[in-house]
Amino acid sequence: MKIIKPIDLNKFLKNNKEKDVEENKTLTDISEKIKEAQNIAIFTHESPDGDAIGSTLSVYLALKQIGKEAKMYIPEYSRLFNFLPGASEIKNKLDDEEFDLAISVDCANLKRLVGKEYFENAKETIVIDHHESNDMYGDINYVDSAAPACAQILVSILQYYNVEITQELGTTLLTGIITDTGGFKHQGITPETFEFAAELLRKGVDVSTLYSKVLETRTRANFELSKRVSERMEFLEDGKIAFTYITKQDEIETNAEPGDHEGLVEIARSIEGVEVSVFIRQRDDEEYYKVSMRSKNNINVSDICYLFGGGGHIRAAGCLIKGDVEKVKEKIIKETKKAFQ
Ligand code: AMP
Ligand code: MN
Ligand code: MN
């Protein structure tokens, strides 16, 4: 019988020696900045997903544990995340204030950061992220594009600092991991992803209920929108590309709230033969469409979105394009087709 060695959960950091020295220095710098700061704020990307919210709450709870109060600024997010520990402390407004330290989580660039004006005015800034396209906009940048979720990077950081992963922290960290990995199933998950979930189970975190709350609960409006998205789905390039959309009008008619478009881009990814799913959603300003792309295998959708000033990960990325449905579709599909050549 094969003997399975016990898991060394303290060894989340990579083994590469040189990288370790570099990483440890960054982590020491981060810890120094946190110790010095009196006035800390945490920020994340627009249209925040589970990883954005889970990572924000995790940093907040970890700081609280070491005796540091911080402000979290997320003006709009899905009410489905309101049950998470610390969520009632999220601010939807900040006063005219200046921070000693601003921490950004799960956000690739300043353009997408909500509260960027506060971030830019802060004395020190730290960026913690896992986007391939991160442009290192902080004074200190801790970016690991191999991590499947920003929250998973936080797990290793918190372990490095010996912060106790309480049930609350376990819940917020796992929310980020579950949502960004599509429930432990996307490419990019690592053994650590499961090791961490296993450890939380041992600690008594109700992983199954959390999974169902953050991944398997949808609002009525999201369901109504998904019907429209399915009806309008077009298949191009022999079914390799799926395209669909929603307009502002659709959101009004379905009484959509913030976050109700989440997951709509995933619908086409599960259809046989579809390699790339393209979903566009009209923004509130009605001038631009937010493009969301997902790929199943080898097409790098981050590269495609980068052409339009966006980015993301190889198999999940986004960008903004100006115009109406037809115009935006033409632009994004043209570049997507090229990726298959
Ligand atoms: P979404 O389609 O909005 O779920 O985004 C997919 C992935 O791409 C997420 O990891 C986003 O953070 C990232 N992303 C989306 N839009 C942009 C953008 N305009 N610039 C950079 N990254 C983006
Ligand atoms: Mn995110
Ligand atoms: Mn993420």
pLDDT tens digits along 322-334 = 999 999 999 999 9
C-alpha 280 to ligand 1 mean position (Å): 12
Same domain, 48 and 91: yes
Gap between the Cα atoms of 176 and 157, Å rounded? 15
Same domain, 283 and 206: no
Residue 14 has pLDDT above 70, yes or no: no
Residue 147 has pLDDT above 70, yes or no: yes
Q: Sort residue 193 into left (φ over 0), alpha (ψ -120 to 50) or beta.
A: alpha
Same domain, 304 and 277: yes
Average pLDDT of the chain is 93
In this structure, is residue 332 part of a structural domain? yes
Whose CA is closest to 108, among 89, 135, 139? 135
C-alpha 180 to ligand 2 mean position (Å): 7
In this structure, is residue 2 part of a structural domain? no
In this structure, is residue 270 part of a structural domain? yes
Counted domains in the chain: 2
What residue's CA is closest to ligand 1, atom 20? 310
In this structure, is residue 4 part of a structural domain? no
Q: pTM (2 decimals)?
A: 0.91
Is any atom of ligand 1 closer than 6 Å to the C-beta of 145?
no
Residue 18 has pLDDT above 80, yes or no: no
Gap between the Cα atoms of 269 and 287, Å rounded? 27
C-alpha 48 to ligand 2 mean position (Å): 6
Pocket test of ligand 1: the residue of 56, 109, 131 to mutate, having most ligand atoms within 8 Å of its CB, is 131
The one-letter code for the residue type at 320 is L
- pLDDT, residue 11, reads 44
Same domain, 286 and 194: no
Same domain, 117 and 232: no
pLDDT band at 108 (very low <50, low <70, confident <90, very high): very high
Write the pLDDT tens digit of every residue in 66-77: 999 999 999 999
Gap between the Cα atoms of 152 and 169, Å rounded? 12
Pocket test of ligand 1: the residue of 46, 130, 305 to mutate, having most ligand atoms within 8 Å of its CB, is 305
- pLDDT, residue 100, reads 97
Percent of the chain with pLDDT over 70: 94
- Residue 144 structural domain: 9-215
- The number of C-alpha atoms within 13 Å of 301 and in the hemisphere containing its C-beta is 23
Write the pLDDT tens digit of every residue in 164-188: 999 999 999 999 999 999 999 988 8
Among 4-13, 52-61, 106-115, 330-339, the least confident range:
4-13
Same domain, 201 and 251: no
Identify the nearest ligand to the CA of 52 by its number: 2
- pLDDT, residue 333, reads 98
- pLDDT, residue 19, reads 56
- pLDDT, residue 10, reads 46
- The 8-class DSSP code of residue 4 comes to P
Residue 17 has pLDDT above 50, yes or no: no
Same domain, 161 and 243: no
Same domain, 226 and 274: yes
Phi, psi of 292 (to 5 degrees): -120, 130
Gap between the Cα atoms of 251 and 234, Å rounded? 20
In this structure, is residue 3 part of a structural domain? no
Pocket test of ligand 1: the residue of 187, 313, 320 to mutate, having most ligand atoms within 8 Å of its CB, is 313
Same domain, 18 and 121: yes
pLDDT band at 305 (very low <50, low <70, confident <90, very high): very high
Is any atom of ligand 1 closer than 6 Å to the C-beta of 317?
yes
Give ion ligand 2 contacts, CB < 5 A: 49, 51-52, 106
Asked if 215 and 222 touch (Cβ cutoff 8 Å), the reply is no
